[in-house]
Structure 1
Amino acid sequence: MLSVINHPERQYLRLIDNIVKNGSPRTDRTKVGTRALFGVQCRFDLSDGELPILTTKKVLWQAALKELLWFLKGETNIRPLLQEGVTIWTDWPLAKYRKATGHDIAQKDFEARVVEDEAFASEWGDLGPVYGKQWRRWRDYEGGEIDQVAGALNLIGHDPYSRRIIIEGWNVAELSQMALTPCHKSYQFFVTPSEERYGANGEYGGEHNAHLKGRKRLHLLMVQRSSDTILGVPFNWTTSSFLLHMMAHQADMDVGEFVWQSADTHVYDNHHDAVATQLAREPKGEFPRIAFKRKPDDIFSYKFEDFEVVGYDHHPFIKAEVAV
Structure 2
Amino acid sequence: MQQYLDLCRHILKNGQERVDRTGTGTISTFGYQMRVNLQEGFPLLTTKKIVLRIVLGELLWFLTGNTNIQPLVRQKIRIWNEWPYEKFKQSKAFKGESLEEFIERIANDDAFAKKWGNLGPVYGHQWRDFFRTDQIKELERSLKEEPFSRRHILCAWNPAQIKEMALPPCHAFVQFYISSDGKRLSCQLYQRSADVFLGVPFNIASYSLLTHMFANVLGLEVGEFVHTFGDVHIYKDHLE
With the shorter chain as reference, the TM-score category is over 0.9
Larger Rg over CA atoms:
1
Question: Which sections of structure 2, spanning at least 5 residues, go unmatched?
Answer: none
Give the equivalent residue in structure 2 for 1:308. Answer: none
User: For residues 217 and 22 of structure 1, what CA distance do their matches in structure 2 show?
Assistant: 35
Give the equivalent residue in structure 2 for 1:135. Answer: 127
Tell me if 1:10 matches 2:10: no
User: For residues 140 and 22 of structure 2, what CA distance do their matches in structure 1 show?
Assistant: 37
Of 176, 189, 203, the residue aligned with 1:189 is 176
Tell me if 1:227 matches 2:194: yes
User: For residues 84 and 25 of structure 2, what CA distance do their matches in structure 1 show?
Assistant: 22
Give the equivalent residue in structure 1 for 2:207. Answer: 240
Of 115, 118, 126, the residue aligned with 1:126 is 118
**Length, aligned pairs only:** 239
Give the equivalent residue in structure 1 for 2:217. Answer: 250
Q: Is the 8 A contact 2:63 2:124 kept in 1?
A: yes
Question: Bigger CA drift: 12-21 or 61-70?
Answer: 12-21
Q: Structure 1 21/100 Cα, relative in aligned 2: closer, same or farther at 3 Å?
A: farther
Tell me if 1:110 matches 2:94: no
User: For residues 61 and 21 of structure 1, what CA distance do their matches in structure 2 show?
Assistant: 31
User: For residues 17 and 111 of structure 1, what CA distance do their matches in structure 2 show?
Assistant: 38
Give the equivalent residue in structure 1 for 2:61. Answer: 70
Q: Structure 1 176/156 Cα, relative in aligned 2: closer, same or farther at 3 Å?
A: same
Runs of 4+ with >4 A deviation: none
Q: Is the 8 A contact 1:169 1:185 kept in 2?
A: yes
Of 140, 163, 169, the residue aligned with 1:176 is 163
User: For residues 62 and 167 of structure 1, what CA distance do their matches in structure 2 show?
Assistant: 23
SS at match of 1:100: coil
User: For residues 3 and 124 of structure 2, what CA distance do their matches in structure 1 show?
Assistant: 29
Counterpart of 1:252, as a letter, is G
| Identical-residue share of aligned pairs (%) | 44
User: For residues 150 and 59 of structure 1, what CA distance do their matches in structure 2 show?
Assistant: 29
Tell me if 1:95 matches 2:86: yes
Q: CA deviation at 1:17?
A: 2.6
SS at match of 1:25: strand
User: For residues 137 and 183 of structure 2, what CA distance do their matches in structure 1 show?
Assistant: 19
Q: CA deviation at 1:168?
A: 0.3
Counterpart of 1:36, as a letter, is S
Q: CA deviation at 1:182?
A: 0.3
Question: Which sections of structure 1, spanning at least 5 residues, go unmatched?
Answer: 1-8, 140-144, 195-214, 274-324
User: For residues 216 and 260 of structure 1, what CA distance do their matches in structure 2 show?
Assistant: 21
Of 2, 16, 19, the residue aligned with 1:24 is 16
Deviations 1:277-309 (A, max 9, x none): xxxxxxxxxxxxxxxxxxxxxxxxxxxxxxxxx
Q: Is the 8 A contact 1:20 1:272 kept in 2?
A: no
Give the equivalent residue in structure 2 for 1:167. Answer: 154
Q: Is the 8 A contact 2:3 2:36 kept in 1?
A: no
User: For residues 191 and 54 of structure 1, what CA distance do their matches in structure 2 show?
Assistant: 26
Give the equivalent residue in structure 1 for 2:139. Answer: 152
Q: CA deviation at 1:15?
A: 1.5
Counterpart of 1:84, as a letter, is Q
Of 236, 243, 268, the residue aligned with 2:235 is 268
- Taking only aligned residues, the RMSD between alpha carbons, in angstroms, comes to 1.2
Q: CA deviation at 1:28?
A: 0.7
SS at match of 1:47: helix
Q: CA deviation at 1:220?
A: 0.3
Question: Bigger CA drift: 167-176 or 88-97?
Answer: 88-97
Deviations 1:38-75 (A, max 9, x none): 00011011125x22110112112210110000000000
Of 61, 71, 74, the residue aligned with 1:80 is 71
Q: CA deviation at 1:13?
A: 1.2
